[in-house]
Structure 1
């Protein structure tokens, strides 16, 4: 069939909003690889450099729920164009940073503008396509939101190793310029509304969400509740969040419409996407530590490890959105995706210290297929009954849930690795003594004894390696059970009235 006159416009909008989404999600992982180089450039400590990540995430997660309000206040077209421009400006400033303090300040600005990009991109796509074509739109959108952060470590490693750490920020500029050019020419204008600002709600939300994100980011490095700062953050998160929810449920006009969660598909979809982010991105976060710190992979080769996962995720996104969602119940597709995600984590946890590149990569491929099977159907299910007037707001809340889930996953796996390593080292040490027959047999081929200095050092190193492996295995198994544990939530979700996906041109 021939393309309709509107088809080129739709394709342009899809490409533009995918580029907008890539700006934000790529930046969330591409910077991680460059942190050691930034640390050396500024003479900073490890704790200080974590603020480069924390400042961005905290500012983004606080601002993201305001997407619906700001879109009504100044217009969606103006907001996304402003957000892309602001993100590009602060990206350039990050690349030009001359101290750690300026870097942290510019990253905070990056996060504030970047917070709007994913929710606005998603809501623009929902409005651009009818329900029966949303699967196709979400498949294209998912290529940016899910594949970009998976490939982020690879791209960051190549740019940092070949050029400079500053390039991980400058790479945003051509992407932003292209997205601005395309959206500025195709996105229709909309009229802003005279919306009253709920200052009290805004304050409570910022305190609750900001303190929670800070707690998740800094808790492990500050030894959690043994730190007075983390204690204050926990209290602020609990009181601010509770007050915001109680106040929001009792008012008709608030900064964020919590009544969206009355829709069971939207509420269940948020729960699943949060848990999925824990299971998937928690594993992605510790995989570089596993292969570089324990298996001795160089940074470039560790980055290449994510390429098969990214390709599988991209293929899965397209096939799920273009074909599968149109033919099968999205709940069944999401269930298969969660099973593959669980399988991926269990398979990674079953590896040993002699694992080859492809033994490490294949579980990632399985997980990549799972990403597409979860992401596209979840978007279709969660937003099925959300009307167009509330799309921006719902997308903002959905984005916050995804981000908090990812942060919770990273915080949990970080704590489990540290505590598990100490526990497993103590456990193994109890069974390895200078008079142990196993220790003597292990060192005998080397002509050493446990009593010798060199022999004791080899035993100590091997204990540390085995303890670390046990700790990582426990974490990957836990993430697998998290993914599997989400399956019952699908039972409360309704099948969408129209869940198909048609080609962009028809």
Structure 2
């Protein structure tokens, strides 16, 4: 078993998935360091995600053109270089530009890591390799906020970028000596298709990332971006149907398992990563948890996800129908969100942590079986390209989830505040009952201020609870899609996709 390759590609994948979440915690520190506004700071995240999503579908094309080994070594080197530059950034504009470079090189790491593992192991050992791979790519993003909080609190926000350098160096050293060269194919670049795809995906990602801050379609910029995405996307799809040499082979979606697998992984990303995205805001902004303690909440989820990934990848997926495992995984994902939706303002640490454990167990039971099912009918020559498309689908699902929950929280708080204010007035028995233990009355400035604060907290709690419940129903709604998937002949040979 080529252990060095497994370790190296897991480290390569960790580089990308860890960096997508570890920076979040450091944003307030970066903001104060550069004197930036909140809207300007979000570009640190947006630039990375947009560039990664645009480049990721090109994985197969680039691997054929320059070779898989050369591509992954270049991707790791480029990612490390731009990570160092991010840590050395002297202004907001420079760090946004360097994050874009990070995203462009990091986009190749997950798809290539999957494909390399798929081709490097015999079928009887692929389950073990995939379990190790999944352990890295699932636990890393879940633990990202905790790692980011510790590094930022103990050292500086710059450390969240410098931490990538030793990981990249070790991965490079292992892959350089162990990974075999792959043949290259002279392939004509479809510049028109490439441009249309970049416009469609990039503009859509921009709408998802910036829509909430710009009040969605009330903004002419968001309207223009949505129109550009729709038109470019339609033209790109038309070219894909009418041409054989399109930059990305969308005919792979003709395979029912691959199409259904992409739909499920996108929906799962909405349900799971949408919840993970709002959890720090929920526990820090509303419940008042310190940054470090809020970061610790992710540790039980990460441990559960790692355990689930190993057991599912090395044992369960080889013994049971992957579709049945996915049913349990989606059920646990739904239960996790419903548990969060049932909490109140007095929730304790473990009341917040246990839903994470349930959700973490569900992650392994969804990721591994879905990858097994989705890639069952994909030819080995198309693995790089299929992995790239699968990664884009997951990323867009995650972005949609984050955008949707953000909009739901903001609009829900406004609606619930208005509703509660209408029912709780200075003359209502409810107001007097709430303030009486404090020795206050609602007709005094002090009492009115306390009453307004309680209404705001209750409205926010109602909005968060409703959002978590909606995400639970999203997971349930994915179950019928499994009916369109065929059970693969073997369960051990498909790559796990993050």
TM-score norm. by structure 2 comes to 0.98
Q: Residues 309 and 368 of structure 1 are in contact (CA less than 8 Å); yes or no, is this contact kept in structure 2? A: yes
Aligned to 2:142: 150
Q: Residues 309 and 364 of structure 1 are in contact (CA less than 8 Å); yes or no, is this contact kept in structure 2? A: yes
Number of aligned residues: 494
Aligned to 1:118: 110
Measure, in 2, the Cα distance between the counterparts of 1:458 and 1:223.
30
Can you give the 5+ residue segments of structure 1 that lack an aligned partner in the other structure?
Answer: 1-6
- Report SS of the residue matched to 1:91: helix
Measure, in 1, the Cα distance between the counterparts of 2:121 and 2:287.
47
Measure, in 2, the Cα distance between the counterparts of 1:310 and 1:301.
15
Q: Residues 372 and 493 of structure 2 are in contact (CA less than 8 Å); yes or no, is this contact kept in structure 1? A: no
Aligned to 1:3: none
Aligned to 2:366: 374
1:332 paired to 2:324 = yes
Measure, in 1, the Cα distance between the counterparts of 2:56 and 2:492.
29
1:404 paired to 2:413 = no
Aligned to 1:424: 416
Aligned to 2:120: 128
Q: How does 1:234-245 map to 2 (within 5 A)?
A: 234-245=226-237
Measure, in 1, the Cα distance between the counterparts of 2:262 and 2:15.
23
Aligned to 1:4: none
- Superposed displacement of residue 191, structure 1: 2.2
Q: Residues 118 and 493 of structure 2 are in contact (CA less than 8 Å); yes or no, is this contact kept in structure 1? A: no
1:277 paired to 2:276 = no
Aligned to 1:363: 355
Measure, in 1, the Cα distance between the counterparts of 2:471 and 2:123.
33
Q: Residues 334 and 471 of structure 2 are in contact (CA less than 8 Å); yes or no, is this contact kept in structure 1? A: yes
Aligned to 1:289: 281
Q: Residues 131 and 499 of structure 1 are in contact (CA less than 8 Å); yes or no, is this contact kept in structure 2? A: no
Q: Residues 267 and 382 of structure 1 are in contact (CA less than 8 Å); yes or no, is this contact kept in structure 2? A: yes
Can you give the 5+ residue segments of structure 2 that lack an aligned partner in the other structure?
Answer: none
Measure, in 2, the Cα distance between the counterparts of 1:165 and 1:385.
44
What do residues 409-430 of structure 1 show as CA deviations (whole Å, max 9, x unaligned)?
0000000000000000000000
Measure, in 2, the Cα distance between the counterparts of 1:239 and 1:418.
30
- Report SS of the residue matched to 1:253: coil
Aligned to 1:446: 438
1:259 paired to 2:258 = no
Aligned to 1:193: 185
Q: RMSD of the TM alignment (CA)?
A: 1.0
Measure, in 2, the Cα distance between the counterparts of 1:97 and 1:500.
44
Measure, in 2, the Cα distance between the counterparts of 1:456 and 1:93.
51
Aligned to 1:15: 7
- Report SS of the residue matched to 2:42: helix
Aligned to 1:462: 454
- Superposed displacement of residue 204, structure 1: 0.5
Aligned mate of 1:225, from 213, 217, 220: 217
Q: Relative to 1, partners in 2 of residues 1:133 and 1:267: Cα closer, same or farther, differing over 3 Å?
A: farther
Measure, in 1, the Cα distance between the counterparts of 2:121 and 2:275.
34
What do residues 129-183 of structure 1 show as CA deviations (whole Å, max 9, x unaligned)?
2344433332222122211000000000000000000000000000000000111
Q: How does 1:348-359 map to 2 (within 5 A)?
A: 348-359=340-351
Aligned to 1:61: 53
TM-score norm. by structure 1 comes to 0.97
Measure, in 2, the Cα distance between the counterparts of 1:145 and 1:27.
11
